[in-house]
Chains A and B, each alone.
Chain A
Amino acid sequence: MSESTEKKMVRLRSSDGEVFEVEESVAKVAKTLQDMLEEDCADAVIPITCVRAPILTKVIDYCKDQVMISSSSSTTNNPNERTEQERKAWGQKFMEGVDSSTLCELLVASNFLNIEGLLNLGVDKMVSMIQGKYPQEIRDMFNVVNDFTPEEEEEIRNQNAWAFERDPYYKKRSSSK
């Protein structure tokens, strides 16, 4: 497919039908795509069935950045190279403003495409969002529907009572008669 350009291009189709053309090196950041490309099915459009276009855009942004920082890493004095601190700050900025549903989609995408760095960023973000939250807060944040009956929920609470008691002087099972 490449006529005059030296760089080989790869086409990806999101679940909602949008096609993205990216350099092969960018696509190869995703281990899943790397495996596919090495098995030589580069000519076709690769369907990414579980990732919507806006999410895929974000994923591609991430991959492009990875290519940029690693492209010249073999040469000395790479201006794009980052210290540990800078990497952290960049990751935070990248995940800034990502809402709960986008975050879950990003996790699905990075898991499916096997992009470890992005998955770690997502997991960190997720942990910071749910740590120390009450179950109801987590449900509200991520639209988790509580499919327990009140009786079932109470039963599970009692089974794991140690996890739900915050105040040591809280009377256990005071809510149930």
Chain B
Amino acid sequence: MARRGKQPMHVAITDNFKKLPNDVIQHILSFLPLKNAAQTSILSKRWRHLWKELLKHANILEFGQGLASTLTREEYADYLDYILLNHKADKIDTFRIFFYPGLAYTEVARKWIEIVTSKEVEEIDLNFRGNPRRDKDQGLVASRTLKFLPDCFYSCSSITSLRLTSSAFLPPSNFQGFTNLRCLYLCGVNISGETITKIIDNSLVLISLEINACGPLNETRIESNLLKRVTLDCCWYAMDTTLYAPYIDYLNFVGRLSDMPELEDVESLREAIIHVMDELGPIGGENLFKFLKELRHVRKLDLILKCYPRHLLRRAPNITFRNLRELELHCFISQDDSEDIRLFFTGCRFPRMEKFTIRLPSGNLTWVSGVQTTFIHEESQAFLQFNFRRLRQIKIINFMGREHEMQVLELLLERSPILEILVLEFEVADALTEAITNRLWSMPRASPAAKIVLIS
């Protein structure tokens, strides 16, 4: 009969695996990724069930986005049910799901969490956002998942890494935090500042905290001698947050000025990424300066502001960043003049800066060049008096060659005596005109040896 094999029938074929006992094959399969092992189910009838033994003992159970995107919710739930109900080992190291339970699967998903928390799970990643491509009844995620996580989850002391997305974190009143928690990541989670404070206070080893679009976080007290990395990204009702972390290494804040945490004792901070989302009003500017002052020890700073609060110029902050080596500013040259950046360097000093990057706003193709506005404020005199003595590298991203951009460039080139390289990344190839190159080469340079690299 016509077999599917390609070999002609007269060649004697012996299956290499023929004499190999099943347990040796299963031993081999146990070294393969689960997905790979499961694919062997179609090799031949003999192989059909061999891989399944693996499921019973696997201690890394990951059912992430990749899997979710290939299955309907029903199939995903059936599959997880099948695996968890057949799982024999006492221990699960890692458990990851990407699933929107909605009302229909709430009980099912609670059951899964009960099973894994009973097996001393260490890393747990629960993403209840699910797959928007497949699920039509999405939307009210947060409100529907209220009261969703079972109590045994909140008392699971084996957890060392917790990632929770699109859920509500509403622990019972006797909640004691997670003693062994090292990393906490929350995204789109309904959680109170009080609960976060409780988690931080009760963990003996927490080093990384990332809170993303969570709330209401009023009066969150983040106080820890262990924390190394903190991210507070677009949290809501986050006013009156305080951060006291003497060993902190990395801080990322994204949000409104009013939600900026009050920093205390963060001198060990090496890297900070600060993204202020609102326009800087008369009051906001003061807050910003106060905040920047606490960051004066960093080595690397990324600052994303819509504009610099120039109206506060007379009370310029006068901050010296003694350790700073790398600085990146986003959108710092506003549409029609280069004043913001001059003012910025008037108020903030970077005597050891080696690398400086400006990232201009992209997609601004309709802007008409030729409008020339040059103004040197009297207040900028302080700026005129200093050099970038250690600056070796300048990079400007989304450079368009507009007049005010050229002015900034001119300024930098004039004042950087040991500059080694200037990189200009043009957003569109058309922007790189002969006029621009000619002007570039004719600019006075404090460091004649500096290379200029144009990328379009």
Contacts and interface: CB of A to CB of B under 8 A. Distances in A.
Nearest to A160: B38
A117 to B, nearest CB: 14
Interface stretch (B13-21, B355-363, B441-449): B13-21
A143 B24 contact: no
Contacts of B24: 107-108, 111, 119, 123
Nearest to B36: A131
B105 interface: no
A135 B70 contact: no
Nearest to B19: A108
B67 A135 contact: no
Contact of B17 (A131, A142, A153): A142
Contacts of A123: 24, 27-28, 31
Contacts of A111: 20-21, 24
Contacts of A127: 28, 31-32
Interface in B166-211: none
Interface string B1-43: 0011111000001111101110010011001111110111111
B386 interface: no
B66 interface: yes
Nearest to A153: B42
B69 A157 contact: no
Contacts of B4: 146, 150
Interface in A8-51: 50
A146 B70 contact: no
B45 interface: yes
Given A150-B4, A161-B71, A144 B43 contact: yes
A163 interface: yes
Given A100-B16, A143-B13, A156-B48, A132 B5 contact: no
Interface residues of B, number: 40
A57 interface: no
A130 interface: yes
Nearest to A105: B19
- Of A127, A153, A162, the most chain B CB neighbours within 10 A belong to A162
Interface stretch (A63-71, A83-91, A165-173): A165-173
Contacts of B20: 104, 107-108, 111
A144 B70 contact: no
B39 A163 contact: yes
Given A101-B14, A146-B44, 9 more contacts: A100-B16, A111-B21, A132-B36, A142-B16, A143-B7, A146-B3, A163-B35, A165-B70, A172-B70
